[in-house]
Amino acid sequence: MASDNIQILGAVPPQYTDVLSDDALEFVAELHRNFETTRRRLMQARVRRQAEIDGGATPDFLAETRSVREGDWRVQPAPADLTNRRVEITGPSSNRRMVINALNCGAQVYMTDFEDAHSPAWLPTLDGQTNVRDAYRRIISDEAADGRQYRLNENIATLCVRPRGLHLMERHVLVDGEPVAGSFFDFGLTVFHNHVAQQSHGTGPYYYLPKLQSYLEARLWNDVFRYAEERLGIPTGTISPTVLIEHILAAFEMEEILYELRERPAGLNLGRWDYIFSVIKVFNGRSDMVFPDRAQVTMATHFLTSAAHLLVNTCHRRGAHALGGMSAFIPRRDDAAANEAAFAQVKSDKQREADQGFDGAWIAHPGLVEPVLDVFQSAFTTDNQLSVIPEVRIAPDDLLAVPEGQITEAGLRNNVSVALQYIDAWTRGNGAVAIYGLMEDAATAEISRSQLWQWLQHGAALDDGRPITTQLYRQVRAQEAAALVEQRGQDNPGALDKAVELLDEIVLSDQFVEFLTLPGYRYLD
Ligand SMILES: CC(=O)SCCNC(=O)CCNC(=O)[C@H](O)C(C)(C)COP(=O)(O)OP(=O)(O)OC[C@H]1O[C@@H](n2cnc3c(N)ncnc32)[C@H](O)[C@@H]1OP(=O)(O)O
Ligand SMILES: O=CC(=O)O
Ligand SMILES: [Mg+2]
């Protein structure tokens, strides 16, 4: 029986009462009571670190953890169903048909998402929980309006869950009068409800951990995992995390992050979109770190290839899988030439990763399984490339090299339009959308909106010499919003109001807004 000190503020229609059972909520409350103080301390540490950088400090590899980097240790070997990770598809956990399609699509792994691809509105979050529950029990099914049936195949991808990042709260659940962290809610419910079903189907509690900024945050997660293992009777070291290296400060602590998790199988994934966003964010005060158009910040740039080399080298020396990120190009049914170009883009991106030594990579769409599998199968015949340890020497300057390029009017307009369309979708409960042939999610949209802020704050100029002023932004934003309303044939000119309001608020703010999802949460049910 859940104690009186747990309150659910959102509606709970009958199909969700199971996932919000008293014993499961009690477990989430235990996570809150045991770990919330540390989580808050770590969030304050993020603020202090940012203040140091604002004051002129430059990130470097840590002196205090030299012995970890020089020590001889390895993470635990991967379980059988996480040994071959050539192709990993991802997608929003709330979309039941997508969950089934992803599990069936032929990828080795499917990461179901409560983070970048998920809009954390209350009912979609509970949908994610029920989908995960039914997927682990292999009873998930659905029927489309046109009668198409969705059922699991005999062989399905290994399921991993990505809970929300440590900064996001779940305001619909209060423990002792305080909202619980989204991380604890998503992790707590999924591990509580599914560890038995996982074991009976020959798999385990596998997680992707987003948006970490330091090894101390990895330590918190390891403590949470230990607690869950002890409390739920899961053998120690069974919970297996793959950490997204998607923050510039975490790039300096890859080795330390793995070390904190070494009592379990662990891996790292280079989350390129949040990574790019983090560089703009962390150095938001520096006029010498203004980025060119988003389209010019490719994986071929020096700072990103440096992060990739460092990640593969770190992982393989420590016995951990190294996973590549997501190319945003997706198949185009509407345009054969664009479709061909998208496939070529994805293939060359994955070829680069295979050559760099990655063991596999993320894809956005089932149509990409075949070409990406082909790239990684041609690159190596063993399950993975763990035995390949590329020689690298990466210095802080390599990780901090600002990509060269121009800011164009098209780039400015694209950022405005994409940010408006994405925020609009997100406020309506949809966390991943196709826009102009690309997958857009919270991380890619963060780049678009943060570039607008950066260009305005630092008085950047377009390649034709025009300065990017508040007036120019307002003009472009009004035009792009009007074009979207017209394109969609919406009679209601107020349809984009929330997106316009939020974008203006964060782009025109004097202070850099840490995550758009923080002020954006007020719009979600
Ligand atoms: C920065 C990061 O964090 S990256 C990781 C987080 N981002 C993601 O996970 C995004 C994953 N991708 C997606 O969500 C989708 O591919 C989108 C939203 C970009 C495009 O989706 P759609 O517009 O539905 O694409 P499209 O119309 O081509 O879909 C065709 C079919 O493939 C399915 N499909 C598309 N993407 C996926 C996916 N990732 N997983 C499962 N099924 C998918 C669709 O559901 C549809 O199935 P149906 O015919 O049974 O209805
Ligand atoms: O989560 C992945 C990213 O690229 O961001
Ligand atoms: Mg991310």
pLDDT tens readout for residues 108-130: 999 999 999 999 999 999 999 99
Whether 43 is covered by a domain: the verdict is yes
Evaluate: CB of 180 within 6 angstroms of ligand 1.
no
Looking at the fold, whether 147 and 11 belong to one and the same domain comes out as yes
Mean pLDDT of all residues in the chain?
A: 97
Contacts 24+ apart (CB under 8 A), 369-377: 369/87, 369/89, 369/105, 369/106, 369/107, 370/106, 371/343, 371/346, 371/347, 372/86, 372/87, 372/346, 372/347, 373/86, 373/87, 373/106, 373/107, 375/347, 375/350, 375/351, 376/86, 376/87, 376/350, 377/86
Can you tell me which atom of ligand 1 is nearest the CA of 95?
45
Can you tell me which atom of ligand 2 is nearest the CA of 277?
5
Instruction: Find the CATH number of the domain harbouring 246.
Output: 3.20.20.360
Res 488: pLDDT = 84
Whether 17 is covered by a domain: the verdict is yes
Give tens-digit pLDDT for 367-392: 999 999 999 999 999 999 999 999 99
The domain boundary, picked from 347, 376, 397, lies at 397
Evaluate: CB of 165 within 6 angstroms of ligand 2.
no
Res 490: pLDDT = 65
Question: Looking at the CA of 273, which ligand is closest?
Answer: 2
Which is nearest to 502 in space by CA: 471, 525, 523? 523
Mutate which of 101, 436, 448 for ligand 1? The one with the most ligand atoms within 8 Å of its CB, which is 101
Question: Looking at the CA of 150, which ligand is closest?
Answer: 1
143 SS3 class: strand
Give tens-digit pLDDT for 322-376: 999 999 999 999 899 999 999 999 999 999 999 999 999 999 999 999 999 999 9
Give tens-digit pLDDT for 182-213: 999 999 999 999 999 999 999 999 999 999 99
Within 327-371, strands assigned E span 360-363
Evaluate: CB of 446 within 6 angstroms of ligand 1.
no
Can you tell me which atom of ligand 2 is nearest the CA of 443?
5
The domain of 471 spans 409-523
Which is nearest to 303 in space by CA: 283, 329, 323? 283
Instruction: Please name the residue whose Cα sits nearest to atom 36 of ligand 1.
Output: 365
The domain boundary, picked from 336, 367, 397, lies at 397
Mutate which of 149, 365, 440 for ligand 1? The one with the most ligand atoms within 8 Å of its CB, which is 365
Question: Looking at the CA of 90, which ligand is closest?
Answer: 1
- What's the mean pLDDT in 153-173? 98
Evaluate: CB of 362 within 6 angstroms of ligand 2.
no
Give tens-digit pLDDT for 206-235: 999 999 999 999 999 999 999 999 999 999
Looking at the fold, whether 433 and 381 belong to one and the same domain comes out as no
Looking at the fold, whether 393 and 445 belong to one and the same domain comes out as no
What total number of domains does the chain contain?
2
Evaluate: CB of 244 within 6 angstroms of ligand 2.
yes
Evaluate: CB of 106 within 6 angstroms of ligand 1.
no
Within 358-466, strands assigned E span 360-363, 433-435, 438-440
Can you tell me which atom of ligand 1 is nearest the CA of 274?
1
Can you tell me which atom of ligand 1 is nearest the CA of 150?
50
Instruction: Find the CATH number of the domain harbouring 439.
Output: 1.20.1220.12
Evaluate: CB of 443 within 6 angstroms of ligand 1.
yes
Looking at the fold, whether 421 and 391 belong to one and the same domain comes out as no
Instruction: Please name the residue whose Cα sits nearest to atom 3 of ligand 2.
Output: 271
Which is nearest to 33 in space by CA: 263, 253, 227? 227
Looking at the fold, whether 186 and 91 belong to one and the same domain comes out as yes
Evaluate: CB of 443 within 6 angstroms of ligand 2.
yes
Please identify every residue annotated as catalytic: 162, 441
